[in-house]
Amino acid sequence: MNRTHPKKIAIFGGSFDPPHLGHLEVIKKALQSLDIDKLIVVPAYISPFKKGHSAPPQLRFEWLKKITAFDPRIEVSDIEIKKGGPSYTIDTVNHFSEIFDTIYLIIGADNLESLHRWHRFDELNRKVKWVVATRNGEKIPEGFIRLEVKMPISSTKLRRNIVPEWIPEPIREEVLQYYSKHTKENRD
């Protein structure tokens, strides 16, 4: 790549089991307010502190592609799915930092309390600019870029009790069908 044109990206990782309107709002707000050339959405194979997932990785990847097709600045990466095992963000950041100069890392405010336990946190902390999306108006500590999002929606709530209006329209039917068939045996 041409190093005279520095590229800035944001990475937004998650389980996306399933993707919902809260995720889309984070993506839209990030594109509006961050100085970035590209936003890379990275579905985890397994998020390190979670026991597993309900929908298989490839399906979550396909759903994300469908709901992000509205903006060419968004890419969905299968890097963590291909690698398998626990999806450590430092590995993903190290991969993309070989290609891009500046990396913003987007997380939801609920992840703040466990951040210091993330794999190789000090290294990760040196390499990214943190961006924190509020979920319900939380205070965000200094040193983090705040994304104002007010959609208290979660995938856990959806898996327990599906609310069709919370599912992005392009995948609504598929998601409803999938979880109506599979959620009972995968309830967390």
Ligand X SMILES: Nc1ncnc2c1ncn2[C@@H]1O[C@H](COP(=O)(O)OP(=O)(O)OP(=O)(O)O)[C@@H](O)[C@H]1O
Q: What are the residues binding ligand X (CB under 6 A)?
A: 14-17, 22-23, 26, 107-108, 110-111, 133, 135, 149, 151, 153-156
Do residues 170 and 24 lie in contact, with contact meaning Cβ atoms separated by under 8 Å?
no
Q: Which lies closer to ligand X via its Cβ, residue 3 or residue 116?
A: 116
Min dist. Cβ of residue 3 to ligand NCN (A): 28
Residues 47-66, mask of contacts with ligand NCN (x by CB under 6 A) = xxxx----------------
Q: Which lies closer to ligand X via its Cβ, residue 16 or residue 100?
A: 16
Measured N-to-C along each axis, helices 172-186 and 57-67 cross at an angle, to the nearest 10 degrees, of 150
100 contact, one of ligand NCN, ligand X, none, CB 5-8 Å limit per kind: none
Helix/strand/coil (H, E, C) string of the chain? CCCCCCCEEEEEEECCCCCCHHHHHHHHHHHHHCCCCEEEEEECCECCCCCCCCCCHHHHHHHHHHHCCCCCCEEECCHHHHHCCECCHHHHHHHHHCCCCEEEEEEEHHHHHHHHHCCCHHHHHHHCEEEEECCCCCCCCCCCEEECCCCCCCHHHHHHCCCHHHCCHHHHHHHHHHHHHHHHHHCC
Q: Which lies closer to ligand NCN via its Cβ, residue 122 or residue 173?
A: 122
Q: Which lies closer to ligand X via its Cβ, residue 9 or residue 107?
A: 107
88 contact, one of ligand X, ligand NCN, none, CB 5-8 Å limit per kind: ligand NCN
Count of residues that interact with ligand NCN, criterion CB under 6 A: 15
149 contact, one of ligand NCN, ligand X, none, CB 5-8 Å limit per kind: ligand X
Binding site for ligand NCN (CB under 6 A): 13-15, 44, 47-50, 87-90, 111, 118-119
